[in-house]
Amino acid sequence: MAIIEVEDVWKSFTNDGKTVDVLRGISFEVKKGETLCILGGSGGGKSTLLKVMIGAHPATRGKVKIDGTDIVGLSERDMNKVRRKFGVLFQSGALLNSMTVGQNVGLPIGFHTKQAAETIDIMVKVKLEQVGLLHAKDRLPAEISGGMQKRAGLARAIALDPKIVFYDEPSAGLDPIATAVIDELINDLKTKMGMTNVVVTHVMESVRRIADKVVMLDKGKVILYGTLDDLLNSTDPKIVNFVNGHIEAAQTDDESYQRFVNDLLI
C-alpha cells in the first residue's frame, strides 16, 4: 500500500517578477515499510521536494498525499494532525544547545502528549537506547560528537513513533563510520519497526545500503524512478555519473526551511 503519493507536483518560486519552476511535474509513490532515496546533482530540486513533502513549502500544483491525506492547501490545524504521522531528521540534527540530549528527545513528547514527567523519561530512555545513546542522556549537545548529535536528532524524530521519517542529507558532515551507523539505524527502523523512510542523499554507499526504491531528479524532473537495481543497471550517462560518485556537493539550507525547523522544535 502506498503511504506517500506524489502526483504531478510543481513548485515555482517568483523573485523580482521572475518565475523559476524548480519542480516540474514530479510523480512517484512510497510503499509502507520501504526506504526511498531521493537523488540527484546539486540544484536538482531534492531539498525543495522534501520541503514540499513535509509541508514546509506549499506545492504550486499537484498533490502530496501522506497516509491518504492531500497536504497541499491543508489548514494549519489539519496539517498539525498529519505532522504527528512523520518525523524529520534535519541536516544539523537541530538540537537545542541549552538542553541535555534527553531533554531534547523529550521535547516533542511533552509538546504533543499529556504524559507525566516520569512516563516521558521512560519514553526518552527507550528512544535513546534504540539509537545507542542512553549513556549520553544527561550530556549537552556540544559535549558529544557530530555522529552522536545526528543520532540524538533521530531519537527525537522517532520519539512519537511516526509512520514515516524524512531525512535531508543525514550523513552530511559525518565520516564513513558515523555514516554507516546512521544507515544501520535507518535500516533498523524499517525492519524492526516497519517505518517508511524517505532519504535525500548524494552518498552512493548509503544508497547501496539503504535504498529499496530511488527517485533521481535532474533540473526539477524525475529522470529515474525504480529499484536500486534499476539505478545500478542504468546506462543513462547522467545516472552512471552519479552512481560512480561524480557529483557536486550539496548546498546549505535556506532561511524558510530554518524557520520551519524552529517551528517544529517549539
Compute the least distance from the CB of residue 233 to ligand ATP, in Å.
23
Residue (59 or 250) nearer to ligand ATP, CB: 250
Grid coordinates belonging to 246: 561524480
Question: Mind giving me the DSSP string for 51-117?
Answer: HHHTTSS--SEEEEEETTEE-TT--HHHHHHHHTTEEEE-TT----TTS-HHHHHHHHHHHH----H
The one-letter amino acid at 106: G
Compute the least distance from the CB of residue 181 to ligand ATP, in Å.
22
Residues 118-147 interacting with Mg ion (rule: CB under 5 A): none
Residues 9-28 interacting with Mg ion (rule: CB under 5 A): none
Give the one residue of 47, 91, 196, 234 binding Mg ion; rule: CB under 5 A. 47
Binding mask 176-215 for Mg ion (x = CB under 5 A): ----------------------------------------
Residue (47 or 149) nearer to Mg ion, CB: 47
The footprint of Mg ion on this chain (CB under 5 A) covers a number of residues equal to 3
Residue that the C-alpha cell 526551511 belongs to: 257
CA torsion through residues 113, 118, 122, 124, sign: positive
Residue 188 half-sphere exposure, CB side, CA atoms within 13 Å? Answer: 15
Compute the least distance from the CB of residue 236 to Mg ion, in Å.
21
Compute the least distance from the CB of residue 57 to ligand ATP, in Å.
8
Q: Which of 89, 95, 169 is nearest to 136 (CA)?
A: 95
Grid coordinates belonging to 143: 559535549
Residue (86 or 260) nearer to ligand ATP, CB: 260
- Provide the binding-site residues for Mg ion, judged by CB under 5 A: 46-47, 250
